[in-house]
Structure 1
């Protein structure tokens, strides 16, 4: 995205300024003026969805499991049995995430 470096200053009477602010559909006047005058759409901030606290706890637990796996990987040498345990744990996490996604996707399929 191109950086905005040019500044345009305009003078307005109190009533003109009030009229601009009243017409503006954006919280910031400059943003509205760019859209209105140039047809430049500003990127929208995404709405943050409400998350079920139970889902958040489950995701935090999965994150903790991943942290434990990463800590173990970084702290010891690996034997074949260790690799199998890690792959098994990662597979279980993948299944849990897939199930959570299915339950919370809003898709009834």
Structure 2
């Protein structure tokens, strides 16, 4: 399908900070295309955000703890053992809340 030739031009002036803000928000690699899509309310595919390495490490540690608990929970017979696992789950819940509060976007 042939693309319609664009013949109209709009010129705007920006401060350096405004230009930088647009570049940071831009999705894709062409600012003019992104501005046109956003302005005309066309659907813009959202790219994946770059993951924070600290967040990934924290989640990895928590995931390791969960795996250990799952393995341990499968072998429980005593109520005291079950209480110990529930206490560990409460600690993990607190760790998750802390991680989420630090990386809330």
Q: TM range, normalised to the smaller chain?
A: 0.5 to 0.7
Q: Which residue of 2 aligns with 1:70?
A: 70
Cα root mean square deviation, aligned: 2.4
TM-score by length of 2: 0.55
Work out which of the two has the higher radius of gyration on C-alpha atoms and give 1 or 2.
Answer: 1
| Long gaps (5+) in structure 1 | 1-16, 24-40
1:15-34 equivalent positions in 2, closer than 5 A: 17=1, 19-20=2-3
1:79 positional shift: 0.8
* Deviation >6 Å, runs of 4+: none
Name the structure 1 match of 2:104.
105
| Structure-1-length-normalised TM-score | 0.54
Cα pair distance change 1:68/1:51, threshold 3 Å: same
Give per-residue Cα distances to partners, 1:12-58, cap 9 Å, x unaligned. xxxxx5x34988xxxxxxxxxxxxxxxxx87x654322221111011
Aligned residues: 70
SS of 2:49 mapped into structure 1: coil
Instruction: Return 5+ residue gaps in structure 2 as ranges.
Output: 7-41
